[in-house]
Amino acid sequence: MSQTTTSAITKALNTPQSKYYHDLIEQITPGGVNSPFRSFAEVGGHAIFFDQAKGSRLIDIDGNEYIDYLGAWGPAILGHSPNNVVKACQDILARGAVFGTPHTLEFEFGKLLLEAIPSMEMVRFVNSGTEAVMSAVRLARGYTEKDVIVMFEGGYHGHSDSVLGSSGHRSSGGIPSGTAENTAMAKYNDLDSLEATLKQNKDKVAAVLIEPVAGSMGVVVPDAGFLQGVRMLCDTYNCLLIFDEVLTGFRMAFGGAQQLYAIKPDISCFGKALGGGMPVGAFGASREIMNRLQPIGDVYQAGTFSGNPVTMAGGIEVLKTLKDPAVYEVLEARADRLFKGLRSSIEARSLPVQLQRVGSMFAVVFCEKPVRNFEDSKNISAEQFALFFHYLLSNGIMLPPSSVDAACVSFAHSEDEIDRTIDICHSAFNRVFA
Ligand SMILES: Cc1ncc(COP(=O)(O)O)c(C=O)c1O
């Protein structure tokens, strides 16, 4: 994406303060961001600095207002700063931010979570999705006394060593070769590929780790029977199935993707929406598996801030709100309205754009054919997406600055906002395909 093209489109957007702080923070923080996702490296230009996030709206430090579909990369399922969550967090904060000892809110939140996810008999709270998956992977290895984890190309499971490949999508330097050797890859939506990987690593696989809907390669929906097939292969090859529901959990349904697709994983991981904005992660499984954790068992896992009262108090409010099926009806209705509007715009001109969505997580991907796996996602045009992204941004709509990552509709989005978004997207498609 050339700088010239970007600035030609964004000239309507006035963000001098954001630019100022972007240049400033770049001097003390690599790339000016505390997480690479936040950088505008893929779409060009500088990141926007926000001052307020409330409901479906963001306001930046220059006073521009946006309808938000970034959703903080997933947590803002109820919209930003829901009143009940804010109040609960404020109330408990005044009594103590962290006790370093157990407290009653851990029980209350844990019970609500276990009621929502019947595949889990016990849970442990952590502080992020990364921690949840990292802990689940260690637990699986400890429980099975095997080393290999099988993942799917293009998946994202946070930034712990075992789940970041040394090549491919979101790969990283600094992964010890010994660690990488214990991570094997299969192709998403391809049971033959999974079976071949399991055969190749026979008797060595601790677990298959999967995002039930792959959120980081264009919101890839599992083919009919795929997840059932994954479950069966795990049973056949005697390994555990870990569902990484950090993105899908409480977003696609109250019981997560496992409820929607009727699959019982052995270990499940949550984060993002579960905290409604507070930093949270959780992993859980059967009593037998979870009791392998210290101090009962031999698998170590810990955290100073895990289960802290502020996060627990916020999470309790989130789950109490999400328990009402009407929330998911609204989420589905809004997302459906958005997609119908976008579809008619795309079909009217037969544009090479795919709409991929499950529930309130979606992606508008710029390629000829639907994306079913990582290979397909390589055909997504980052250049066209960048034009689309900047057109939307300069017209007051915020998407993830990434051609492959999931955008989110929240409970706070109104029908009017959805309709406005459809209109702006229509003009944006005209611009991209002028
Ligand atoms: C499926 C999935 N797993 C794990 C993670 C890591 O979560 P966190 O960023 O909270 O560490 C993410 C984050 O995007 C994710 O989408």
Nearest partner of 408 among 154, 79, 21, judged by Cα: 79
The residue behind tokens 């290999």 is 148
The Cα 213–Cα 5 span in angstroms is 33
Residue with CA nearest ligand 1 atom 13:
158
Tokens 């690599």 label which residue?
30
Cα(183) to centroid of ligand 1, in Å? Answer: 18
The pLDDT of residue 5 is above 50:
no
Q: Which residue has the higher pLDDT, 364 or 5?
A: 364
Residue 234 Cα to ligand 1 middle (Å): 23
Ligand 1 pocket test target in 35, 38, 133, 172 with most atoms within 8 Å of CB: 133
Who's near 151: CB < 8 A, 6+ residues apart?
Answer: 157, 163, 165, 183, 184, 185, 186, 208, 209, 210
CA-281 nearest atom, ligand 1: 10
- Bridge partner residues of 326 (DSSP): none
pLDDT recorded at residue 171: 82
Q: What pLDDT, on the 0 to 100 scale, is given for residue 4?
A: 37
* Atom 3 in ligand 1: residue holding the nearest Cα: 157
Task: Give the C-alpha separation, 190 to 197, whole Å.
Answer: 11
- Going from the Cα of 151 to the center of ligand 1, the distance in angstroms, rounded, reads 14
Residue 378 sits at φ, ψ, to 5 deg, of -70, -15
Atom of ligand 1 at shortest distance to CA of 406? 16
pLDDT for 253 beyond 70: yes
Backbone phi and psi for residue 269, each to the nearest 5 degrees, phi listed first: -125, 140
Give the per-residue pLDDT at 169: 61
Q: What is the pLDDT of residue 7?
A: 45
pLDDT for the residue 371? 97
CA 60 / ligand 1 centre spacing (Å): 25
Q: Whose CA is nearest to atom 5 of ligand 1?
A: 158
CA pair distance 91, 259, nearest whole angstrom: 33
CA distance readout (Å), 187 to 89, 106, 197, 372, 426:
42, 38, 9, 10, 34
pLDDT band at 166 (very low <50, low <70, confident <90, very high): low
Among the listed residues 60, 68, 244, 405, the single catalytic one is 244
Give the residue ranges of DSSP H helices in 255-308. Answer: 256-260, 287-290
Token digits for 92?
Answer: 């408990």
Crossing angle for the helix pair 83-93 and 309-322, to the nearest 10 degrees? 160
pLDDT in tens, 256-311: 999 999 999 999 999 999 998 999 999 999 999 999 999 999 999 999 999 999 99
Average pLDDT of the chain is 95
Mean pLDDT of 26-48: 95
Check if the beta carbon of residue 217 is closer than 8 Å to that of residue 159: no
Q: Using the predicted structure, report yes or no on whether residue 55 has a pLDDT greater than 50.
A: yes
pLDDT tens sequence across 199-223: 999 999 999 999 999 999 999 999 9
On the question of pLDDT at 6 being above 60, the answer is no
Residues 88-108: tens digit of each pLDDT: 999 999 999 999 999 999 999
Rounded distance from Cα 284 to ligand 1 centre (Å): 16
Exposed, middle or buried by CB within 10 Å (0-12, 13-18, 19+), for 276? buried
Task: Respond yes or no: is residue 272 known to be catalytic.
Answer: yes
The DSSP bridge pattern shows strands 50-54 and 407-408 to be: unpaired
Confidence band of 10 (pLDDT split at 50, 70, 90) = very low
Beta bridge partners of 54: 57
User: β-strand 50-54 against 57-60: which pairing, if any?
Assistant: antiparallel
Domains and CATH numbers, the chain: 3-80+325-432 (3.90.1150.10), 83-322 (3.40.640.10)
Looking at residue 42, what is its pLDDT?
Answer: 95
Q: Which residues line ligand 1 (CB under 6 A)?
A: 73, 128-130, 133, 156-158, 211, 215, 244, 246-247, 271
Q: Can you point out the beta strands (E) in 198-291?
A: 205-210, 240-244, 267-270, 281-285
Cβ burial of 8 (10 Å; 0-12, 13-18, 19+) is exposed
Per-residue pLDDT of 171-192, as tens digits, reads 889 998 888 899 999 999 999 9
* Cα 222 to ligand 1 centre (Å): 19
Give residue-wise pLDDT tens across range 304-337: 999 999 999 999 999 999 999 999 999 999 999 9
**Cα–Cα distance, 63 to 106 (Å, whole number):** 39
Tokens representing 21 are: 């702080």
pLDDT in tens, 372-410: 999 999 999 999 999 999 999 999 999 999 999 999 999
Catalytic residue among 66, 69, 143, 156: 156
Inter-residue contact 180 to 155 (CB < 8 Å) = no
Q: Which residues contact 315 (CB under 8 A, 6 or more apart)?
A: 109, 112, 113, 274, 275, 276, 278, 280
Half-sphere exposure of 94 (CA within 13 A, CB side): 5
Q: How far apart are CA 95 and CA 7, in angstroms?
A: 49
Q: With bands split at pLDDT 50, 70 and 90, how would you rate the model's confidence at 9?
A: very low
Task: Indicate whether 36 pLDDT > 60.
Answer: yes
Over the stretch 135-160, which tens digit does the pLDDT of each residue have?
Answer: 999 999 999 999 999 999 999 999 99
Q: Is 88 left (phi over 0), alpha (psi -120 to 50) or beta?
A: alpha
Radius of gyration of the chain (CA): 21
With pLDDT > 70 as the criterion, what percentage of the chain qualifies?
A: 96
Atom of ligand 1 nearest to the CA of 133: 4
